[in-house]
Chains A and B, each alone.
Chain A
Amino acid sequence: MIHHQLIVVGGGLAGLRAAIEAKDAGVDVAILSQVHPGRSHSGAAQGGVNAALANHPEGHDDNPEKHAFDTVKGSDYLADQHAALQMTTDAVPAIYELEHMGCPFSRFDDGRIAQRPFGGAGYPRTCYGADKTGQYMLHTLVEQAYKRHITMYIEWFVCRLIVEDGVCRGVVAYSMTKGGFEEFRGEAVIIATGGAGRTYSTTTNAIISTGGGAAMAYHAGVPLKDMEFVQFHPTTLYTTHILMTEGCRGEGGYLLNRDGERFMAKYAPKAMELAPRDITARAIQTEIDEGRGIDGKAYVYLDLRHLGAEKLAERLPGTRDLAIHFEGVDPVYEPIPIVPGQHYTMGGIDTDVDGRTSMPGLLAAGECACVSVHGANRLGGNSLLETIVFGRRAGTAAARDILGHERSSGPDGNVGAAAAAVEAYVDDLASREGTEDAYAVREEMTEVMRAHFGIFRDEATMKAGLDKLVALKARLKKAKLRHTGGVWNLDMIRTMELEGMLDVALAIASGALVRTESRGSHARTDWDKRDDERWLRHTLACYEGDDPPKLDYTPVDMGLFEPQERKY
């Protein structure tokens, strides 16, 4: 057993920021991460991070209230309004702090942090470092973690929460490099494991974005909120679904159909290519579905040629590299074939603005959490912001809880029981029938999610999809491990994570099927209007074992902005 006062699961931006905050408050904190923190998926974020700095010449009267309004409108009014305002208010000092830590933001001529226009935003407020903002932010926080000598358990796969008497007491983790399971116990646990994009076959997400942390909390009895809201990014590479940043359109890129038409004029005449992601993704999918993809195929063009080689080199160098390496297309000379792809998990572990969940001792921050500030559709540039704002807030809250406690923090009576339970579970996985193939189940699940819970949804398709997921869950119980024990056991890790992925997928599916309206990313062809009367509320999915989740609903925090029709 290893003890630290605070255990942070996940070493991406949210986890690092939480750990830094707690460490500075005097807490003994440890980060556990499946990968070196510098390899976290936060680093794949490209276009930027929103904050109303008002540095842009066209944004001198920008402020956090306007940023909050854009966020709430973008969310199709499902975001909790005071939470959104909290985020946009915290945004400004959070960016300055990151800059003071050394984050290499791009600069305007006056030396201030550069900002670019982004989708759904009334002002150009997206701060950026070329098109590698996530990488620069991530490396900056990794540097700060080293500076503070924060304990990092690198390449530890966390597989279960330790819950005793309804209180979270720690986690059980597998050491990938040494082998074996270990209990980590502490006064609080912060889950910061990112999104669940890999439940879909066509996603921009890293291979480790499996929703593992959300699944752990869910299995332990903490509800997942608003899981049916899944963001599809408008522009991902046709063959690999690798992200082409919204910054491409922020810098002036066009979307073109078969006829060379800037088709966004039909869908968002004012905002054009800079409409929010849900609207833009639906527009692209509609063009493809109606036969106006390029040469009738299932993609359209993202055209950057008119921006010129110099601007691409300055603002979008990573985009150019990705298009060349992964699609064989040089955007300086050719338009890029793109399709919408799964990108972001708006839902997640139900938390308040300080990251606290319904379970004492358990907090969550970042994409795995749902505060909610993104509601039914997240604005580009708000996810990097969420990580540093709510990572910090969760770190503050955990530190306050830990340092406020009187009791000593020694080990308690059940030490070893949780690790033994996981070992018994792995033994069970190894001794199952073996008549099913876990990797086939995984592939089928990701295809079900793409085909049945995609950009456009309807009752019959979703019902059929839900039945398939239930059948897949039953099949997974007959799959056995092919490789047992030892170090770096990918077979075991990937089989264990698949169980969580299926339950997360079921939470997405169940919430989506029941919600008879169209709101943000949840677009139903059979219920094509937003229905504030019945559905201006959050979904809470509670884990029920082999049965489908139980769905509860909670009100949306309003009071700042009246819901109106979204026009762009």
Chain B
Amino acid sequence: MSDVTFRIKRFDPASGEPPFYQDFVVPVEGSMTVLEGLFAIQEQQDGSLAFRYCCRSSICGSCAMYINGRYRLACQTNILHMGVDRVTVEPLPHMPIVRDLVWDMDDFFAKYEAIKPWLIRNSELPDTELTQSPTERHKLNMPIDCILCAACYSSCPSVWTEQNYLGPAALLKAYRFEVDSRDEGGKERLPRWDNERGVYRCHTITNCSEACPKELNPTEGIQWLKRAAVRRRLLGHKK
């Protein structure tokens, strides 16, 4: 058991006061995570602390935060493994704040919706499954593991500087459907991302891939889309 200081960025936009940092000392042992530390503070020291949580097993994407200067899932971050006696916890940077560590997700999901993130089929469906070879299915492995935590989106300088940019998560979702052998929505979806607010706003800074707590590579997906768009312009649509 050792005492760790949580330095938490607090902010209540309704208060009219600027954001500030507040320290809490939390006794930490064993497998305790940053998320558990936040609960310990909320339960024992300050009932007003606001943060998101759900699965606590790194699959729901709720608790992406900026922890000691890195994008992390609070539930997946073992405090003692960080080897520090002070943990600074901030909300995802560059996001509008609801309160404390809770940021406003509206823009993020509006951009997700904007790329038509669903399988588009025009031809008739069979009575059983649409077949897909294991090789075709493997192409989906990376993008379908996105948990929409928005760490990539928050880390992207192009997002910071252009509020209409779709951002890496939405574009990774576009990529996910573009590489799906079952999808027939290429032509329909293309105008959503083949433009200034889409892939061309990505300057391959690759912060997104570094920030991703699931170790995915949105940049790779975006680069693939750029190549696909050029191919389509030169050779016409395949699907």
Q: Which residues of A contact B (CB under 8 A)?
A: 35-36, 38-41, 43-44, 53, 95-96, 99-102, 104-113, 129-130, 132, 135-136, 139, 143-144, 146-147, 154, 177, 206-208, 239-240, 242-243, 318, 321-322, 325-326, 439, 481-483, 486-491
On whether the beta carbons of B182 and A102 are closer than 8 Å, the reply is: yes
A195-B2 Cα distance, complex, nearest whole Å: 35
Q: In the complex where A38-B61, A111-B133, A207-B54 touch, is A240 in contact with B31 (Cβ < 8 A)? A: yes
- Shortest Cβ-Cβ A-B pairs, 10 listed: A102-B119, A111-B131, A482-B47, A491-B47, A488-B50, A143-B118, A483-B47, A439-B43, A39-B60, A483-B48
Residues of B9-53 at the interface with A, using a CB-CB cut-off of 8 Å, are: 12, 14, 30-31, 42-44, 47-53
On whether the beta carbons of B131 and A132 are closer than 8 Å, the reply is: no
Residues of B101-155 at the interface with A, using a CB-CB cut-off of 8 Å, are: 102, 104-105, 109, 112-113, 116-119, 121, 125, 127-134, 136-137, 140-141, 144-145, 147-148
On whether the beta carbons of A486 and B14 are closer than 8 Å, the reply is: yes
Q: In the complex where A177-B104, A487-B98 touch, is A41 in contact with B133 (Cβ < 8 A)? A: no
Q: Note all chain B residues with C-beta closer than 8 A to A483.
A: 47-48
- Looking at the complex, which one of A100, A107, A322 makes contact with B133 (CB distance below 8 Å)? A107
Q: In the complex where A112-B131, A491-B47 touch, is A326 in contact with B57 (Cβ < 8 A)? A: yes
Q: In the complex where A102-B118, A206-B60 touch, is A39 in contact with B54 (Cβ < 8 A)? A: yes
On whether the beta carbons of B98 and A325 are closer than 8 Å, the reply is: no
A194-B127 Cα distance, complex, nearest whole Å: 31
What's the nearest-Cβ distance from chain A to residue B166, in Å? 15
- A154-B105, A177-B102 known, 20 other contacts, Cβ within 8 Å: A43-B147, A53-B128, A96-B129, A99-B130, A102-B180, A104-B140, A104-B144, A107-B134, A111-B132, A146-B117, A177-B98, A206-B56, A321-B58, A482-B47, A482-B48, A486-B14, A487-B98, A490-B47, A490-B50, A491-B47
Q: Note all chain B residues with C-beta closer than 8 A to A207.
A: 53-56
Q: Which residue of B lies closest to A443 (CB)?
A: B43
What's the nearest-Cβ distance from chain A to residue B127, in Å? 7
What's the nearest-Cβ distance from chain B to residue A140, in Å? 8
A sample of 13 cross-chain residue pairs with beta-carbon separation below 8 angstroms, ordered by A number, consists of A35-B60, A39-B55, A39-B62, A43-B60, A44-B59, A95-B129, A104-B140, A207-B55, A243-B57, A322-B58, A326-B31, A488-B100, A489-B50
Q: Which residue of B lies closest to A206 (CB)?
A: B55
A410-B8 Cα distance, complex, nearest whole Å: 47
A439-B45 Cα distance, complex, nearest whole Å: 12
Q: Which residue of B lies closest to A134 (CB)?
A: B59
Say whether B76 faces chain A, with CB atoms less than 8 Å apart: yes
On whether the beta carbons of A208 and B54 are closer than 8 Å, the reply is: yes
- Looking at the complex, which one of A146, A208, A439, A487 makes contact with B118 (CB distance below 8 Å)? A146
- Looking at the complex, which one of A104, A240, A486 makes contact with B99 (CB distance below 8 Å)? A486
Range class of the B interface residue count:
35 or more
Q: Note all chain A residues with C-beta closer than 8 A to B14.
A: 486-487
What's the nearest-Cβ distance from chain B to residue A566, in Å? 31
Q: Note all chain A residues with C-beta closer than 8 A to B53.
A: 207-208
Q: In the complex where A100-B130, A109-B133, A486-B99 touch, is A206 in contact with B144 (Cβ < 8 A)? A: no
On whether the beta carbons of B137 and A107 are closer than 8 Å, the reply is: yes
A105-B133 Cα distance, complex, nearest whole Å: 11
On whether the beta carbons of B48 and A135 are closer than 8 Å, the reply is: no
| Interface SS, B side | loop
What's the nearest-Cβ distance from chain B to residue A159, in Å? 18
What's the nearest-Cβ distance from chain A to residue B155, in Å? 20
What's the nearest-Cβ distance from chain B to residue A256, in Å? 23
A355-B114 Cα distance, complex, nearest whole Å: 34
Most chain A C-beta atoms within 10 Å of own C-beta, residue among B44, B52, B104, B119: B119
Q: Note all chain B residues with C-beta closer than 8 A to A53.
A: 128-129
On whether the beta carbons of A135 and B147 are closer than 8 Å, the reply is: yes
A227-B147 Cα distance, complex, nearest whole Å: 32
Q: Note all chain B residues with C-beta closer than 8 A to A144.
A: 118
Most chain A C-beta atoms within 10 Å of own C-beta, residue among B52, B55, B109: B55
Q: Note all chain A residues with C-beta closer than 8 A to B133.
A: 107, 109, 111
What's the nearest-Cβ distance from chain B to residue A202, in Å? 13
Q: Which residue of A lies closest to B183 (CB)?
A: A102
A428-B54 Cα distance, complex, nearest whole Å: 28
What's the nearest-Cβ distance from chain B to residue A132, in Å? 7
A40-B61 Cα distance, complex, nearest whole Å: 10
What's the nearest-Cβ distance from chain B to residue A204, in Å? 8
What's the nearest-Cβ distance from chain A to residue B189, in Å? 12
What's the nearest-Cβ distance from chain B to residue A151, in Å? 13
Q: In the complex where A39-B62, A100-B121, A491-B42 touch, is A242 in contact with B54 (Cβ < 8 A)? A: no
Q: Note all chain A residues with C-beta closer than 8 A to B30.
A: 239
Q: In the complex where A102-B118, A132-B145 touch, is A206 in contact with B54 (Cβ < 8 A)? A: yes
Q: Which residue of A lies closest to B105 (CB)?
A: A36
A400-B228 Cα distance, complex, nearest whole Å: 46
A476-B112 Cα distance, complex, nearest whole Å: 42
Q: Note all chain B residues with C-beta closer than 8 A to A107.
A: 131-134, 136-137
Q: Note all chain A residues with C-beta closer than 8 A to B102.
A: 177, 488
Q: Note all chain A residues with C-beta closer than 8 A to B62.
A: 35, 39
Q: Note all chain B residues with C-beta closer than 8 A to A154.
A: 105
Q: Note all chain B residues with C-beta closer than 8 A to A489.
A: 48, 50
A132-B214 Cα distance, complex, nearest whole Å: 13
A38-B140 Cα distance, complex, nearest whole Å: 18
What's the nearest-Cβ distance from chain B to residue A439, in Å? 4
Q: Which residue of B lies closest to A154 (CB)?
A: B105
A357-B98 Cα distance, complex, nearest whole Å: 37
A486-B10 Cα distance, complex, nearest whole Å: 14
Q: Note all chain A residues with C-beta closer than 8 A to B57.
A: 44, 206, 240, 242-243, 322, 326
On whether the beta carbons of B121 and A325 are closer than 8 Å, the reply is: no
Q: Which residue of B lies closest to A490 (CB)?
A: B42
- Looking at the complex, which one of A40, A129, A488 makes contact with B98 (CB distance below 8 Å)? A488
What's the nearest-Cβ distance from chain B to residue A143, in Å? 4
Q: Which residue of B lies closest to A322 (CB)?
A: B57
Q: Note all chain B residues with C-beta closer than 8 A to A439.
A: 43-44
A64-B212 Cα distance, complex, nearest whole Å: 42
A144-B120 Cα distance, complex, nearest whole Å: 10
Q: In the complex where A41-B55, A109-B134 touch, is A36 in contact with B98 (Cβ < 8 A)? A: no
A315-B208 Cα distance, complex, nearest whole Å: 26
Residues of B36-95 at the interface with A, using a CB-CB cut-off of 8 Å, are: 42-44, 47-62, 76
On whether the beta carbons of B99 and A488 are closer than 8 Å, the reply is: yes
Q: Note all chain B residues with C-beta closer than 8 A to A321.
A: 58
A109-B100 Cα distance, complex, nearest whole Å: 50
